Structure 1
Amino acid sequence: MCCKVSIILPTYNRGFIIGDCLKSVITQTYDNWELIIADDGSNDNTEDIIKGLSKNNQKIIYYKNSQNLGLPGNRNKAIKEASGHVVFFIEDDMVLRADCLENLVKTYELLSKQGEKIGAICPSLITQISYNTSQRGVLNHVRDSRNDDLEKSPCIIDKKTGLIYRNFSPKFNGIIIVEDCHSCSLYPKEIFEKIQYPENIYTGNYIGEESEMNIRLRKMGYNLYFQPKAVMNHFVQENGGCRLPLYKWSYYFIRNHSLFLARNYSYKFVYMESFFLFYILRTVVSFSFLSLNKQPKK
């Protein structure tokens, strides 16, 4: 395999966790890569940690933005620095299994030889959460409601609400064509000559930005693939990055998804937005009812 991979790692105030991510990149079984770390103006010890671990490693490129660009803008800036055949986005609270990159590149080269029009390839994502919040409780409640469907497919787009449910589990077998990929996926570098992450549109928690790009790729005739043999662990953190308090996260979730519907579903937006707002109301009522029933009786 001779395919060079440009790994792009946006980060912001994650000095306490980014070291584990860097070590997992450095120890990959596939070694034809460069790592571009795009620091979006951190004011903690992120820079010191990175420089300490990347000392004398010419494959690691680090720069720090003078002002915070936000996640989409930071990614787009980093793409311009990439020199690889493919671009692989990762996040600072993720740890790659040693053969993650190797499996992704093998899949890319296999599909390329078969003449497939590759938009993106996403790895398995194992999520581990060490804290409890109302936000996380709501998300778990919503996902549990679609468990039966997600056992059969790693990604479901609800046709009424446009909401995307994901279960990119390593339990699936073989390469699977999917409707959407998660944000840590591998893309051919050449597609970024035609498309880029939408900037200054999705804000706050940035929900919708990667899905809009993936939908546009599918409309252009590209396929999205899932390779369950490539595995990443996501150690979800309470602080840093794009984490927000529940009330802010909820506002941006509704705002961003409404924009996502308006920008990507044309006239269908009228009824999909109605279904989405009804879904929000039903979820809040359902979750509140379950939470009250779980409270210990006095």
Structure 2
Amino acid sequence: MLHIVNGDGFGSILQASGMEGEILVWRESLYEGPISADLTNEAALEARLRYFAERGVPEALFRSYTDSQEEALRLIAQHDKVILWFEYDLFDQSMLIYLLMRLRQYREMWAGKTRLFLLCIDSFPGVHPFKGLGQLSSDQARSLAGTWQPITDEQLELGSRAWLAYASDDPRAVVELLHEDTSALPFVSRAMEHHLERFPSVSNGLNRVEQLTLEAVHGGATRIDSLFRQISEQTLDYGMGDLQYWGYLRSLNQGPSPMIRIDGPALPRYDQNGPIKFEAWCLTMTDFGVEVMASEKDAVLSNGIDRWLGGVHLQGKHRVWRWDTESQSLIRKKV
């Protein structure tokens, strides 16, 4: 039996539970960085390698993780049963649809030899709010044994379509996906809706995380640790980790017209070692940040943008894809 899990935290919990089988921790964060339909393509791999190297992940370590994960998928037929453990949020759903796409591609290698199962939840009795499998004790994790369900052809096909939409360089593919029947994977639609909220808004160029952040700092939040807890509670469906959030803070602090000031050392990166003294940082608003928050100025028109959202690379100041909350549509604002 092979368990493919969504992170080291839950991997350790599952290991401690004494559940039968090997554990493969899927460490590739598909929430951020350059994305393309085929991540095994050398050009795509190099792009992601460079992205994470700039954020503190050693190139050799990143390549080792990705190579070993893909090799495990190619050798999936060595196992009688494979169980995928994932959650409802965007971070997990992007990994899940990628895995379903890859397993569908390898179907001839495992069909008739390996049975595939999925456990994907958004709640657990007595755990409120439920943020993820990493909250569970080893006993709670073990209680889920056998509750997984067989992965169907419909799920493999939907996962593949969802991945191709997410990885497309035209974000309207995600909008089109939301018009389809996605009930075979109950959390995909919700996750993709929140993915669209990560695009800059038509009103001021901020996405939902950035808008909430400016509102919180304007309201008196000054410490990055408490701010992250506050924003992550408001955006549970994103599955956003602290390192991804520090990236948002950096972007708000950069450009010709910063929206916040960060007093303190450089924000933590992936290669951060040892305990972090969060009191070392203090956040304050700038006048420009107040104007953007109130939709009197536009962040993208002033500072530009350089960010990957799925397969879409947002760059520059003009004709950038934006999300219109009222019409629930993507547009390219002509300025």
Q: What TM-score do you get using the length of structure 1 for normalisation? A: 0.30
Larger Rg: 2
Structure with higher strand content: 1
| Higher RCO by CA contacts (8 Å cutoff, separation 6 or greater) | 1
